[in-house]
Amino acid sequence: MPSMIVAPEPPAVEEGAKVLMNGGNAIDAAVTCALVQGVVNPQMCGIGGYALLNVRLAGERSRSIVLDAPALAGSKTTPAMWQDEFIRLSPDGWGYFLKNKVNDLGYTSICAPGTVKALSAMLEGWGTIAWERAVAPAARIAEEGFKVDSHLAAGWKTPADYPEESSLLDYVKGNPEASRIYLKGDGRSYEAGETFRNPDYARTLRQLAERGADDFYHGGLAHRMSEDLTANGSYVTAQDFADYQLREARPVVGEYRGHRIETSPAPHGGPTLIAILNILEGYDLRALGHNSPEYIYRVSMAMKAAFADRNPRLGDPAFVDVPLEWMTSKARAGEWREHINSGQPIAVSLADPEPPDTTHLSVVDRDGNCVALTHSLGMSSGVITPGLGFMYNNSMVNFHPFPDHPNSIAPRKGRTTGMTPTIVYRDDRPALVIGAPGASRIITAVLQVILNVLDFGMSIGEAVLAPRFDCQGDLIRCHARIPEFVCA
């Protein structure tokens, strides 16, 4: 099996590829790549964020493991603390608007981060290179700088769609330390092609390399972070860092057209992916024609049905009872097919929205080890502890602001996500190692890549590049490359 690594950030892919070419395995490459992603895509991911890994370990008795490192609400939170701050749901469904952006921007939006714990545990458990070696490329790039790409530069120039919403630049300008690092001397953001350096982040990464990942949760870094967060009103405490625990689980497993699908468990996107595939297995999608009106209708209704089951029930399984077997059963899929075939409407309750963010990487090595890793900051809180160089997540924005909901706020609770790192097996051999950025649209994007390959015989390149659509409620959103006469 040839080695392969893919991600949206070229500098990170290059460093991961070097690890593979120098004899490292998929785990080594994934950790190295993820740390570089945090440097070159600094408001989408980083060591202040959270991660979800689907790992396949090759060998005589191959096994699959999911490592979940969620962003956990601080121990000072309470379920009803923001119910009087609610303004409205964002019209585009990407977030709850609260007074003073308390859930979105600044110290009150931060949850306890888990990415460092996940990456170090994965490397220690199954990697072959030292932690210091995995961290070194990210530290070097932060120190020497990288060329700002057009996507990052455009993000800093894109305004918010609504007055209650934050743009990427709003997060930067909301914190003095972030402004110092991410804005030039004249107060402007960096342009595409300009070199951006972050020596503070480099020093933090080198400290992590020298002292180990435990420094982030129990050592000097933990002390500096918790001192800053406490002084500025965050709900995250020093004890939240010290007590942080990874969650190890088995992937959720489904079957589709003779292939085994292994994906993320609750409270993530995997169960919804399996539910949609179960519904669609009862249709001859190839006969409908790729992205034909009938195809888009059938797939969209399957999406809508699965989200109708997901939205009112999904939450952190450590806090709520999620009916996973029912949601992902073939029997439930059959009920939904009858409903769809009858033409009856499907009512979907509002989801707990996520901002369209995040990044992903997929790696396969020559021995057949595989990693699908999705990690994120949300849109970032904008907060940087002075001298540390990295932003924290703003995952409080993803919790339901009212109590008595499966995704309501609670101390040390994780929130729902669309993260769907997935490995598809054909005859017990990995055939696809996939995932995506994009909040809850991750689920429908991963779905369509699977359909494009398994139902329509596309190559992985063709499958990823094909235009997609999304339906999670009353609207079907189609890519501009799908003709208007199809969507009308």
Amino acid at 192: A
* HEC-encoded secondary structure of 97-150: EEHHHCCCCCHHHCCECCHHHHHHHHHHHHCCCCHHHHHHHHHHHHHHCEECCH
Per-residue pLDDT, 214: 97
| Same structural domain, 170 and 85 | yes
- Distance separating alpha carbons of residues 97 and 160, to the nearest angstrom: 13
Please check whether residues 227 and 321 belong to one and the same domain.
Answer: no
Cα angle 484, 353, 482; round to 5? 15
pLDDT band per the 50, 70, 90 thresholds, residue 89:
confident
Mean pLDDT over residues 51-57, rounded? Answer: 97
pLDDT tier at 165, thresholds 50, 70, 90 = confident
Do residues 271 and 333 both lie within one domain? Answer: yes
Whether 158 is catalytic = no
% of the chain residues with pLDDT over 70:
97
Given a cut of 70, whether residue 106 has pLDDT beyond it is yes
pTM for this entry: 0.95
Do 466 and 338 sit in the same domain of this protein? yes
Q: How large is the average pLDDT for residues 88-117?
A: 90
Q: List pLDDT tens digits, range 109-159.
A: 999 999 999 999 999 999 999 999 999 999 999 999 999 999 999 999 999
Residue with tokens 């002390």: 223
Q: What is the pLDDT of residues 404-413, one digit of tens each?
A: 999 999 999 9
Is 482's pLDDT higher than 90?
Answer: no
* pLDDT given at position 339: 95
Do residues 207 and 326 share a domain?
A: no
Per-residue model confidence (pLDDT) at position 340: 93
Asked whether residue 49 is assigned to any structural domain, the reply reads: yes
Residue 396 to residue 72: CA distance in whole angstroms? 9
Distances (CA, A) of 446 to 37, 95, 434, 468: 21, 22, 7, 10
Residue with the bigger pLDDT between 357 and 186: it is 186
- Tell me, yes or no, whether 318 lies in a domain: yes
The pLDDT of residue 309 is 94
Structure tokens at 423: 């490995």
- Give the tens place of pLDDT for each residue, 311-356: 999 999 999 999 999 999 999 999 999 999 998 888 887 655 555 5
Count the domains in the chain.
Answer: 2
Same domain for 17 and 151?
Answer: yes
Angle, CA 36 vertex, CA 30 and CA 39 arms, to 5°: 150
Mean pLDDT (the chain) is 94
The DSSP element (H or E) to which 56 belongs, if any, is strand 50-57
Which range among 232-236, 342-346, 395-399, 480-484 shows the weakest confidence by mean pLDDT? Answer: 480-484
Q: How far is C-alpha 316 from the geometric centre of its chain's CA atoms?
A: 16
- Report how far apart, in Å, the C-alpha atoms of 132 and of each of 21, 121, 137, 179, 373 are: 18, 14, 10, 30, 20
Report which of residues 357 and 75 the model is more confident about.
Answer: 75
Determine the average pLDDT of the residues in 258-265: 97
Percentage with pLDDT > 90 across the chain: 86
Q: Is the domain of 323 the same as that of 388?
A: no
Arithmetic mean of pLDDT, 431-439 = 90
Q: Is residue 125 part of a domain?
A: yes
Do 349 and 380 fall into the same domain? no
Q: What is the Cα–Cα distance from 167 to 47, expressed in whole angstroms?
A: 21
Domain span at 428: 249-353+420-487
Measure the CA–CA gap between 50 and 115, rounded to whole angstroms.
Answer: 5
150 plus 50 within the same structural domain:
yes
My answer on whether 147 and 204 are in the same domain is: yes
- How much is the pLDDT for 439? 75
Instruction: Indicate whether 273 pLDDT > 70.
Output: yes
Confidence (pLDDT) at 488 = 66
Take residue 372 and report the two structure tokens written for it.
Answer: 């699908």
Task: Report if residue 406 sits inside a domain.
Answer: no
pLDDT digits (tens, 9 = 90+) for 277-291: 999 999 999 999 999
Which pLDDT does position 16 carry in this prediction?
A: 98
Residues contacting 382, CB < 8 A, separation 6+: 105, 106, 166, 170, 171, 172, 173, 174, 175, 178, 391, 394
- 144 with 40, same domain: the answer is yes
Average pLDDT over residues 218-238: 98
Task: Identify the pLDDT of residue 347.
Answer: 80
Q: What is the mean pLDDT of residues 6-35?
A: 98
Q: Which of 204, 328, 358, 444 is catalytic?
A: 358
Residue whose C-alpha is closest to residue 267's, from 412, 407, 465: 407
Least confident among 63-77, 342-356, 372-386: 342-356
**Are both 94 and 8 inside the same structural domain?**
yes
**For residue 372, what pLDDT is reported?**
98
Instruction: State yes or no: pLDDT of 69 exceeds 60.
Output: yes
